[in-house]
Amino acid sequence: RRDFVANVSHELRTPVAIILAQSETLLDGALDDEEMAQKFLSSMHRQAERVTSLINDLLDLARIEAGQRELEREDVSIAAAARRAADGLASKAKKRDLRLEIDVSSEQTAFVNASALEQVLVNLLENAIKYTNEGTAIVLKAQPDGKKRLRLEVWDEGPGIPTELQNRVFERFYRVDKGRSRDLGGTGLGLAIVKHLVGQMGGRVGVDAREPNGAIFWFTV
């Protein structure tokens, strides 16, 4: 808990310090320089967005970890959940010239909480969009895992995760490339949320290397 509080404070301190410094500069006269004002305001806006994402992720995580209520489950169509997740991310994918392919048959269903499944898919697809190389394809696949489970996989063509870090990326605030994650608006909490939600539905998560490059993030339902 002590580590966690230290991490959260550290994550909040940087954007708040930037907002403070830039607003002071503006108040001290930079407001009259239109170009400078524009630059500082858009930077402050970006930093405020960062704080907002962090707070939202922290609240999600706290709610999930408190386990206040059991996730209600029902039979959910994987293809439909994937479609909803992908539709919400279409403009982000387009900006990086990425194709989102859903390779799931319409009969595949899972006994899950529909919004938790969607959040897991959004977090994994959003990461793939952030970290993969422009102009490539991101593919979601579903295949049987043993008799009763399905394994959902997100294939990307990004830098992948070094073998020795494959467990660590699911820890809160763990990032492979800190600078890149922050530049892309990452909070370092997305995969921790994925792990919790999947665990609450009785599944497992992991990541494998893709050859010649890329990651395959997977979970079972």
Candidate residues 79, 156, 195, 203; the one interacting with ligand ADP per rule CB under 6 A: 156
Residue 15 binding ligand ADP, by CB under 6 A: no
Residue 177 binding ligand ADP, by CB under 6 A: yes
Contacts of 209 (CB under 8 A, 6+ apart): 160, 161, 163, 215, 216
Q: How far apart are CB 38 and ligand ADP at their closest, in Å?
A: 28
Residue 176 binding ligand ADP, by CB under 6 A: yes
Residue 175 binding ligand ADP, by CB under 6 A: yes
DSSP 8-state symbol, 67: T
Candidate residues 215, 218, 219, 220; the one interacting with ligand ADP per rule CB under 6 A: 215
Tokens, residue 2: 């002590």
Which of residues 189 and 197 has its CB atom nearest to ligand ADP in the complex?
189
Which of residues 181 and 220 has its CB atom nearest to ligand ADP in the complex?
181
What span, in angstroms and rounded, lies between the C-alpha atoms of 164 and 182? Answer: 22
* 152 neighbors 145 (Cβ within 8 angstroms): no
Q: How far apart are CB 173 and ligand ADP at their closest, in Å?
A: 8
Q: How far apart are CB 132 and ligand ADP at their closest, in Å?
A: 6
Nearest CA-CA partner of 57 in 121, 124, 117, 123: 123
Candidate residues 22, 47, 113, 127; the one interacting with ligand ADP per rule CB under 6 A: 127
Q: Would the CA dihedral through 103, 150, 107, 123 be positive or negative?
A: negative
Tokens, residue 221: 């339902």
> 44 to each of 26, 36, 94, 103, how far by Cα in Å?
11, 12, 26, 40
Which of residues 39 and 180 has its CB atom nearest to ligand ADP in the complex?
180
Half-sphere exposure of 187 (CA within 13 A, CB side): 25
Candidate residues 50, 60, 89, 190; the one interacting with ligand ADP per rule CB under 6 A: 190
Kindly list the residues in this chain that would bind ligand ADP in the complex (CB under 6 A): 127-128, 131, 156, 158-159, 161, 169, 175-177, 181, 186-192, 215
